[in-house]
Amino acid sequence: MLNNVKVVLVGTSHSGNIGSAARAMKVMGLSNLVLVDPQCSIDEQALALAAGASDIAENATIVSSLAEAVADCALVVGSSARSRTLEWPMLEPRECGQKFVEEGQNAPVALVFGRERTGLTNDELQTCHFHVCIPANPEYSSLNLAMAVQTLSYEIRMAYLEKEQQQYTPQEQSEYPRHKELELFFEHLEKVAVSTQFISEEQPGKVMNKLRRLFNRARPEAQELNILRGILTSIEKRIPR
């Protein structure tokens, strides 16, 4: 299950942070590191700070966009501070670990971290099903990237060990759509909403953001998403040409 966990670093600017994150991952049994549009290379500083985890840093997958990094993931959680401007389903770190262990049994899952100075953009945060916020001291909540990776990786490992210790027959797990399948659904939904004049073609963003939030919160299963796509297709067939 731990092999299904992706730690995704977006726009990392300091190579040492990549090495430190790799070390934090390996301590907790994670090995799948993905770098999205890194602003630095895996250099001597990265390998030095990785210590015994240089293999994770050197074998990191490098992609150009967050969408590419999580395309095959059934669950995507972004690390962020609580936002008043972007309301999104939130998880506590312990909940995050438990959810990763539950859903990581059957499909890849991703834990996403943003840039050192500015974090994740709103568009990137909306790619995630949930946000997770580390409840640090409000008077001094300065966590560096590797600390954040270490904290959330620890919660995943603790949930994993607890699951391993439980002696019972696992329940059948629901199959959730991959990120790319969700994106195709949102594109289809927007197309139909525009065609039926439910939303304006010039300004679809506000309503679509709310619909994204609704469906991300609801977490439709793969079969349920297929039903929704079927409904949209049925509506399209009845729209006058």
pLDDT tens readout for residues 88-113: 899 999 999 999 999 999 999 999 99
Name the residue among 33, 55, 43, 58 with its Cα closest to residue 110: 33
The pLDDT of residue 185 is: 97
User: Which residue, chain included where needed, has tokens 């040409």?
Assistant: 241
For residue 241, the model assigns a pLDDT of 72
pLDDT tens for 198-237 read 998 888 788 999 999 999 999 999 999 999 999 999 999 9
pLDDT confidence of residue 169? 55
Give dist(CA 102, CA 99) in Å, integer.
5
Give kind and range of the element (H or E) at residue 111.
strand 109-113
State the DSSP H helix or E strand holding residue 207, giving kind and residue range, or none if neither.
helix 205-218
- Give 184's contacts (C-beta < 8 A, 6+ positions apart): 229
pLDDT score for 176: 93
Domains of the chain: 2-167 (3.40.1280.10), 179-237 (1.10.8.590)
Long-range contacts of 141-146 (CB under 8 A, 24+ apart): 141/81, 144/17, 144/20, 144/116, 145/9, 145/12, 145/17, 145/20, 145/21, 145/113, 145/116, 146/17, 146/20, 146/21, 146/23, 146/24
What is the mean pLDDT of the segment spanning 4-18?
A: 97
Its pTM stands at: 0.83
Helix (H) and strand (E) counts for the chain? 10, 7
CB distance 36 to 8 below 8 Å: yes
- Taking only the tens place, the pLDDT of each residue in 128-182 is 999 999 998 988 888 899 999 999 999 999 999 999 887 565 667 789 999 999 9
Q: Which long-range contacts (CB under 8 A, 24 or more apart) does 57-61 make?
A: 57/18, 57/19, 57/22, 57/33, 59/33, 60/18, 60/22, 60/33, 60/34, 60/35, 61/32, 61/33, 61/34, 61/35
> Per the structure block, which two tokens stand in for 50?
């990785």
Strand-pairing partners, residue 32, are 6
**DSSP tag of 52:** G
For residue 195, pLDDT beyond 70 = yes
